[in-house]
Each structure stands twice: as structure tokens, then as C-alpha cells.
Amino acid sequence: MKTMNNLALAFAALLLAGTSQGQTTPTNTSSTTSSPDTNGSVMSRFNSNVSIRDNPGVLGHSYADLNYSWADYHRDSGLDADGYIAGLKGNVPIARGFDFGLGYNYYRENNHRNPFTGTPYDARYHEANGQATIYTPMGRVKPFLSGGVGYQWSRGDIQRLRTYDHEWVWNAGAGFEALLGTVALTPRISFTDTIENRGGAGAWNYGAQAHHWFNEKVGGYLDATFHDPRKGGGVEWWTYTAGLRFKF
């Protein structure tokens, strides 16, 4: 009888252990297969909003951009002026390989002189714009095409309470983003013009940018662009830009 009791107790212990293990294993399996890191990675790659370790470039990231530029005109042009540009922009991936951004630029040009009174004044221009970019979403080198439309106006040149020179502008460009370690280099070429094409104001723009993410949320960049107006469209000039990007 004692032997039977011992066998019964051993059988019960084995059954209990098997039941306990059967209840624990599915839980562990479920937690592994539904890992938030795995699903998050798949969804982030679909949304192109991936970690900077996976994508050290700019394309495919959601970010806000604050920048400041200095415009350097060729002195032999006879235009004794310095220009300064402050801008902000927001960029959001709409689909895989497609980004869209909205921005605003404020341009100020010093050392002008009122032709009526001879007094100095500063020219000030504003522009609101939208930009779309299509690119190859994979690889260390990402070719892209971009295009945008903006609306610009001038305010407060000679008559401070007057706005004028309202006009629509457009741009189209191409380039590529090359990922070199933690730095993204972006050479590009673009063409800008007014929609009315008044006075042949269009210009070719040749530029390059070097960008680096300091951490998962903040990055910085430097940019140099040469602006070459068409014949009769103005003087040649450079813009040198420094900016910060904040990922969201």
C-alpha cells in the first residue's frame, strides 16, 4: 500500500510538473513572437522612420530643420550687398521612397540705398514653399529627384507698410545621398525660376551638403551652393549654410 501511495505521489508530481511547463511555454513563445522590437522594426522600415544607426542619412527621416545662410555676391558685379537667410522646414516620409516637406525662408539684404532720398535700407523677402522628393529607399547611395513650388513676397524695402513683388516660384533638381560611416554627403543640381518667367530670372544651383546625426534626435549639417543665373537673370552668388535637424 505504501508503495502504491509513493507511485501515486510520483505520478501526481510528474503530472503537475508537465501541466506547469505546458502553461509556461506558450507564454514565453507568445512573448517572443510578438516582440515589440521585431514589429517595431518592420513598421519603422515601412514608415522609413528608422534609427540613425540603420539610416545615418536624411532621406526617410521625420525631422524639423532650422538653418541660417550667408549669401556672398561677386564683388566685381557692382552689387555691394550682403544677404542673410533664416529658414525652417519640416520633412515627413509619406511612403517608402517618398518624402514631403513644408518650409519658410526669410531673406534680408543689406547696404541698399533709396534712389529717391539716398538713405540706406535693407531689402527683405519672404517665401513659403513645399517640396517633394522621390528616392531609392535602400543602399548606401540613394539617387533622388525633387521638385517644389513656393510663394514669395517682399515687404518693407522702401515703404515699410507695403507688400509687393508677389510671385510664384518653382524648382526641380536631382542628386544622390552617399552614406559614409556616420556622415551623409549630398551633391545635387537644381534649377529655380518664377512661374511667369519674368526677365529671365531663372538660375542653376550647384551644391553639396554634409550631414551628421549627433544622437538619435539631433543632427547638424553644413552646405555650400553656387547660384548661376541665366543670361540677364542677375549676378552669380554663393550661399553658405549651417543648420540643425531635430528628429521626431
pLDDT (0 to 100) of residue 171: 97
What are the grid coordinates assigned to 210, written together? 554634409
pLDDT (0 to 100) of residue 12: 46
What are the grid coordinates assigned to 15, written together? 503530472
What are the grid coordinates assigned to 182, written together? 556616420
26 φ/ψ angles, rounded to the nearest 5 degrees? -60, -35
pTM above 0.75? Answer: no
Rounded CA-CA distance 147/127 in Å is 16
Rounded CA-CA distance 58/222 in Å is 13
Higher-scoring residue by pLDDT: 109, 219: 219
- 7-46: pLDDT as tens digits: 444 444 443 444 344 333 333 433 333 334 444 443 344 4
- 106-160: pLDDT as tens digits: 998 876 666 666 666 677 889 999 999 999 988 899 999 999 999 998 865 555 5
What's the 3-state SS for the chain? CHHHHHHHHHHHHHHHHHHHHHHHHHHHHHHHHCCHHHHHHHHHHHHCCCCCCCCCCCCCCCEEEEEEEEEEECHHHCCCCEEEEEEEEEEEEEECCEEEEEEEEEEEEEEEECCCCCCEEEEEEEEEEEEEEEECCCCCEEEEEEEEEEEEEEECCCCCCCEEEEEEEEEEEEEEEEEECCEEEEEEEEEEEECCCHHHCCEEEEEEEEEEECCCCEEEEEEEEEEEECCCCCCCEEEEEEEEEEEC
Task: Write b or e for each residue in 103-125: b if 16 or more Cβ atoms lie within 10 A of its Cβ, otherwise e.
Answer: bebebebeebeeeeeeeebebeb
Rounded CA-CA distance 64/93 in Å is 12
The residues pairing with 124 across neighbouring beta strands, listed in sequence order, are 108
